[in-house]
Amino acid sequence: MKPLPCSIDPVVFALIDNQPHVLLRKRDESSQAFPDVYALPGGLMYPHEDKDLTAAADRVLRKKTGLQSFYFEQLGALGPHIDPRGPTLVIAYMAVMALDSQTKPLDPRSKWFPVDKALKMKLPFEHNSTLKMAVERLRNKVNYSSLPAHLLGEEFTLPQLQKAYESVLGFDLDKSAFRKKMAEADFIEEVVGKRITGAAFRPAQVYRLKASTGLHHFAANLRR
Amino acid sequence: MKPLPCSIDPVVFALIDNQPHVLLRKRDESSQAFPDVYALPGGLMYPHEDKDLTAAADRVLRKKTGLQSFYFEQLGALGPHIDPRGPTLVIAYMAVMALDSQTKPLDPRSKWFPVDKALKMKLPFEHNSTLKMAVERLRNKVNYSSLPAHLLGEEFTLPQLQKAYESVLGFDLDKSAFRKKMAEADFIEEVVGKRITGAAFRPAQVYRLKASTGLHHFAANLRR
DNA sequence: ACAATAGTGTCTGTTAGACACTATGCC
DNA sequence: GGCATAGTGTCTAACAGACACTATTGT
């Protein structure tokens, strides 16, 4: 009975040009396993440094992305898989973040890949199945939760929010139905008096997430 | 950076007299931690014996329950929590099984507790939160999946299935609506020609789960 | 015939989805 | 006024929920 090291493997999603992307990172040249290969930006848990798994995931995400604000949840435990250094337990996470103009650039080894493209890549370890799991969870959860709001910045308009839902779902939604749903779901609020002007058409009202931790869940799916 | 031992903590549900029960086991007298206290029937993973986490969970469940057939799924990874033997990573599972007349009796240290009663008990380690997690998952999943069918034996009638749903949900369902839902969900099939006779009323048609692995999920909840 | 439960039919209020309409800004 | 998009109103077909009805057995 030998204890196992434990790896935190996060799948990080963001929207670029309204397309869902996932963050991959070229492994260190000096790595014993799969040097210079694109992989999930994982990291080992340090039992004496990390209070618990959530803290470990938070630390790994901050370190690997340089970003401060994101939503994340655990997908589950996998493995153990075989690493050249021995069997390793894997805890998979899904994270969702907003990229905007103020976002720090990534370190040069990291890169955003369109989700569909990443799904076709050959990734090391069991990262292909982890990625697949995360994409399924993302697509599924979008059906009945406020998750896509976390792909946008602090503030956003309803048309932007609708586009975020549509881009992850992969099909278009009816404007009227969508707005009714959002009103009823009641997880966003107007930023009173603030609208997006400047374009040659009617300005859009600005909204933000209501102060609350976690996701909001709908009673029924957006489309059956 | 020291590796961690890994404990498999399953929450096992079954129906007794149409009431949901959960399996707890008195810890060994000789145990270093919490001897003789009721706890989840967990066990350590043996990295050299268990192919992966699923195999480990399967082994632990068979060993602790003596039962062969059940549905189980991972709830997630927790911890590490502090055990007298040092920090331990925990992988929580939810399992659902059918008890019938042929079921072997439990070992004398194990006992079925009504779910509501178990929730009020003081359990060791973080077993209280694990149990709470499992109960929430169970109650939630019943809303939109075929899970309760696994609380019944190989064969069952629609009234029995409805009672299983009702007992976990905690409220009654409309017979007509329930049957329409089941027909549409299409995860059970008639055992042709087989009915339950013997009582002084119309016999009920016998059904079984269609051959398929895993759960069936509905498009909408049973009740909003 | 009757009791008791299995199984089906029907009616109605609600709602999702489609789509037409109005509103508001810049040119 | 025209154009482009934001935001609202309306109509209808489908459906969930309530409940009444029929079916089938043993006594």
Note the pLDDT of residue A79.
76
Count of residues for chain A?
224
CB contact under 8 Å between A77 and B91, yes or no, is yes
Please give the mean pLDDT across all residues of chain A: 90
Q: How much is the mean pLDDT over chain B?
A: 90
A79 touches B: beta carbon within 8 Å: yes
Alpha-carbon gap, residue A159 to A170, rounded angstroms: 16
Q: Protein footprint on strand C: which nucleotides are under 7 Å from a CB? A: 3-10, 16-20, 23-27
- Tell whether the model's pLDDT for residue A179 goes beyond 90: yes
Give pLDDT, residue A2.
Answer: 56
Instruction: Specify the higher pLDDT residue, B6 or B115.
Output: B115
Cα dihedral sign, B209-B67-B145-A151: negative
Enumerate residues near strand D (beta carbon within 7 A). Answer: A 157-159, 175-176, 179, 195, 199-205; B 174-177, 180, 195, 197-203, 220, 222-224
- How large is the average pLDDT for residues B22-42? 91
**B137-189 pLDDT per residue, tens:** 999 999 889 999 999 989 999 999 999 999 999 999 999 999 999 999 999 99
What distance, in Å, lies between the first and last C-alpha atoms of chain B? 48
pLDDT of residue B39: 96
Residue A135 pLDDT:
97
- Both tokens of A224, joined, read 């059956």
Touching A: B residues 50-69, CB under 8 Å? 52-53
pLDDT digits (tens, 9 = 90+) for A79-104: 788 777 778 899 999 999 999 766 77
In this complex, do B47 and A4 lie within 8 Å of one another by their Cβ atoms? yes
In the stretch 2-31 of chain B, residues with CB closer than 8 A to chain A read 2-6
Nearest to B77 among A44, A47, A77 (CB): A77
3-state DSSP assignment of residue A91: strand
pLDDT at B223: 57
pLDDT for A10: 96
Nearest to A1 among B46, B53, B219 (CB): B46
In this prediction, residue B224 carries a pLDDT of: 43
User: Nearest Cα to A42, choosing from A3, A81, A68?
Assistant: A81
Q: Is B210 exposed, middle or buried (0-12, 13-18, 19+ CB in 10 A)?
A: exposed
Whole-number Å distance between alpha carbons of A40 and A44: 12
Q: What is the DSSP string of B28-86?
A: PTT-SSSTT-EE---EE--TTT-SSHHHHHHHHHHHHH-----EEEEEEEEEEEEETTE
Give A16-28 pLDDT, tens digit per residue: 999 999 999 999 8
Q: Are strands A6-16 and A86-97 parallel, antiparallel or unpaired?
A: parallel
Its pTM stands at: 0.91
- Cα-Cα end-to-end distance for chain A: 48
Q: Look at residue A98 in the predicted model and tell me its pLDDT.
A: 92
Dump pLDDT digits (tens) for A134-162: 999 999 999 889 999 999 989 999 999 99
Radius of gyration of chain B (CA): 19
